[in-house]
Amino acid sequence: MSDPLISISVPQSVGGNVLQVLETLSKVLEPANILDRASTVVLNRIRQRFLKEQDTAEQPWVPSKAAIRRRLRGGTGTLYETGNLFRSIQQAAVEGNETRITTDVPYAKYHQFGLGNNLKREFMGVSDLDARLVERILNKYLDDAINKTFGSR
């Protein structure tokens, strides 16, 4: 076997530094924290749209006849007769690299997808703006990690 044309060796001092940098980054970039923060933002956006009676494209829902009657008496809006559906929209516990925003109300799917005799009134989902906000959150975590690891530039 012949000698290699190029040989690269990493001094222990540099190799140790790389491991230290990776260790620092892993502490700062804790996936559970990032997922928790991002899903909290998305959950709040879903709830805001629900109260505004808008879908993920921020288009208004068709008002229900029941909501029109309730509002004439000073009541609540579409999909909000009891508030159960709204209150059921929750962030599930983070598991590994996954987090969920869910509802456990059995009739939710009928409104979300327009099943049965119900009009589609989408309330769960991630909008384009939600995705951009999550991207900003991730970029902030990355910037913070880089600054903590290498110092501000």
Residues 6 or more apart in contact with residue 109 via CB below 8 angstroms: 115
CA angle, corner 24, sides to 22 and 28, nearest 5? Answer: 115
pLDDT in tens, 60-117: 999 999 999 999 999 899 999 999 999 999 998 766 777 889 999 999 999 999 999 9
How is 2-54 classified by DSSP, letter by letter? PPPS------HHHHHHHHHHHHHHHHHT-HHHHHHHHHHHHHHHHHHHHHHTB
pLDDT at res. 21: 67
Total domain count, the chain: 1
pLDDT in tens, 33-51: 888 888 999 999 999 999 9
For residue 127, what are the domain limits?
61-145
- Residue 146's pLDDT band, with cuts at 50, 70 and 90, is confident
Q: At what angle do helices 128-150 and 12-28 cross, to 10 degrees?
A: 140
Does some domain include residue 38?
A: no
What are 91's strand-pairing partners?
Answer: 101
Q: Does 35 reside within a domain?
A: no
Tell me, yes or no, whether 5 lies in a domain.
no
Q: What is the pTM of this model?
A: 0.79
Please compute the mean of the pLDDT values over residues 114-131 and round it to a whole number.
94
> Cα(90)–Cα(34) distance, rounded to whole angstroms?
17
